[in-house]
Structure 1
Amino acid sequence: MKGIQRALLCAALFLAGCASQPDIIDRGSYRVDTRHQAPSAFPRITSLIIHYTAGDFDSSLATLTGPDVSAHYLIPARPPGYRGKPVIWQLVPEEKLAWHAGVSYWRGYTHLNSTSVGIELENSGWRQVPAGLGMVKRFEPFEARQIAVLTTLAREIIDRYHIAPQNVLAHADIAPQRKDDPGPLFPWQQLARQGIGAWPDEARVQFWLRGRDPQAPVDPQQLLVLLARYGYQVTPGMTPEQQQRVITAFQMHFRPARYDGVADAQTQAIAEALLEKYGQ
């Protein structure tokens, strides 16, 4: 009898402690002790991926709510107002996986659908237009109202999941062989000033440029080594065209004034400055 009484007393003391212990959570028919957290655990969401839809809003919404692809958010080019505030569309809860990244790679991780939040921006993307003797891609600019609401949403997501600046990415960064979005007209530098994403310090770019002509050619292999260290997928046996697409993706993000995929001194200096600032 004394043993039973002692056990009941211990249980009562334990439950009394539970009542005042915020780390022991009551879930109705049972309680969960969360005081002993395993160190070998990582957050599911570690990156934010920005896309454009390459279509109008109605067709984009239909595609993103169809059976093949999805994204967490869709932001119209001109968000409508409701009671004085812009409206955006959440298509997938953030805690669920959305199929927006596809075959992807960043900093050693593949299948970024599992570790990211995806935001789609209504934007027609690019079209081919005549230029000289050939054709070039002409990208569509983004609307100021669209970027304004994106800025607020992106900052909230970054704060919610403690996403590092170097993990706020273009779709082209994680899939340069397949994708161009959100393209060279997306205002990465503007967003970086708002605490969204990475951007090199100009003084450090000039330091790494070391007085060279910014357009002076550099060894593409040396540049690709830097881009691989920063996070891009660079693999043995890539064709010159595949290598050029990796360089182009980097330039569209960090040197959008010229994104021809040519390895030059300025691109190399930007890569050095980013590695110095954000690690590798």
Structure 2
Amino acid sequence: MILLLSACSTYRPGELDIDRSIQAKSQNSRVEFVVLHYTSASNEASLRILSERNVSSHYLVTNEAHPHVYQLVDESRRAWHAGVSAWFDRSDMNSGSIGIEIVNQGREGDQWEPYNPVQIQVVATLLQDIIRRHQIKPHNIVGHSDIAPQRKIDPGPLFPWKQLADQGIGRWYDEDKARQYEQEFLTLGLPDIAWTQAQLRRLGYTVPHSGELDKASKNVIAAFQMHYRPAQYDGLPDAQTLAIMKALR
């Protein structure tokens, strides 16, 4: 028997016909986290830094009467915004996250620049879209200070985490339970530092196992306070701070 091959069945080097008509059901997005930052620079300087230097983010939201949203890196690609960081023991946060830079000067001396309410609403709309498309869990919407508390303080204590949580964005605590736990701590006394460190690890933070209130542990507590109790972020484990930790799930 002679088998004849037609010219159209001949494979030519460099040509590859990939059939994408069938997609597997068992898959999800590679994006697990969103990391929020402030730029500490003006609109123009922020755009220049994030597009021309050795740092980048997926999105930049300007601070204007009508904020402009730049997409500087495609969501399928790795932006360089998180640096050395970790969340729930996951390191190399750049690989699985979307970074959003918000134009805000941050801290200048003892003062923090307030966030533009219109800008925050634009950020909320952007976040809602990203969360929907990638099915990102509330506890994985974080600030740079949450994932790198030893070296970063952005987006700072004026960032409106509670306002976003009220819109279904990010994690927040049961405020009634927090008040109850605070009274219990005030009555019975505070747990030891090892308990606090264990709670922070449960919530995703990278913190020492020292059992002591060392500098690194205070930095993590301060980062937690800036996110959930921004009125006071001194890094000390007071009754209110520990009650919020306990009330968070």
Shared fold by TM > 0.5? yes
State which drifts further: 139-148 or 199-208.
199-208
- After superposition, the Cα gap between the structure-2 partners of 1:35 and 1:49, relative to the gap in structure 1 and judged at 3 Å, is closer
Partner of 2:112: 139
Structure 1 unaligned residues grouped into runs of 5+? 5-27, 81-85, 129-136, 276-280
Partner of 1:46: 32
Tell me if 1:126 matches 2:107: yes
Q: Is this contact kept in 1: 2:197–2:209, CA < 8 A?
A: no
For residues 127-160 of structure 1, the C-alpha deviation after alignment (integer angstroms, 9 at most, x for no partner) is: 22xxxxxxxx321110011001111001100111
- The one-letter amino acid of 1:62's match is R
- After superposition, the Cα gap between the structure-2 partners of 1:65 and 1:251, relative to the gap in structure 1 and judged at 3 Å, is same
TM-score (norm 1): 0.77
Match of 2:51 among 65, 75, 91: 65
Q: Distance in 2 between matches of 1:42 and 1:236?
A: 34
CA positional deviation for 1:235: 2.8
Q: Is this contact kept in 1: 2:197–2:208, CA < 8 A?
A: no
Q: Distance in 2 between matches of 1:140 and 1:107?
A: 30
Tell me if 1:269 matches 2:227: no
Q: Distance in 2 between matches of 1:79 and 1:63?
A: 22
Q: Is this contact kept in 2: 1:218–1:264, CA < 8 A?
A: no
For residues 50-99 of structure 1, the C-alpha deviation after alignment (integer angstroms, 9 at most, x for no partner) is: 0000111111111101231000111111154xxxxx53111111111100
Q: Distance in 1 between matches of 2:23 and 2:94?
A: 31
RMSD: 2.3
Q: Distance in 2 between matches of 1:42 and 1:239?
A: 40
2:101 aligns to what SS in structure 1?
strand
CA positional deviation for 1:211: 3.8
Tell me if 1:111 matches 2:79: no
Partner of 2:19: 31
TM-score (norm 2): 0.86
User: Percent identity at matched positions?
Assistant: 43
Match of 2:68 among 66, 77, 87: 87
When Rg is computed on C-alpha atoms for both structures, the one with the higher figure is 1
Aligned length: 234
Show the 5 A alignment for 1:231-242.
231-236=204-209, 240-242=214-216
Partner of 2:162: 189
Match of 1:100 among 81, 98, 107: 81
Partner of 1:257: 231
Q: Report which of the two has the higher share of strand.
A: 1
1:160 aligns to what SS in structure 2?
helix
Structure 2 unaligned residues grouped into runs of 5+? 4-15
- The one-letter amino acid of 1:163's match is I
CA positional deviation for 1:206: 2.0
Q: Distance in 1 between matches of 2:120 and 2:231?
A: 19
For residues 184-204 of structure 1, the C-alpha deviation after alignment (integer angstroms, 9 at most, x for no partner) is: 000000000011100101112
**Structure 1 runs (4+) greater than 6 angstroms displaced:** none
Q: Distance in 1 between matches of 2:102 and 2:95?
A: 20
Tell me if 1:228 matches 2:201: yes
Q: Distance in 1 between matches of 2:154 and 2:70?
A: 19
Partner of 2:7: none
For residues 95-133 of structure 1, the C-alpha deviation after alignment (integer angstroms, 9 at most, x for no partner) is: 1110000001000100100011010010111022xxxxx
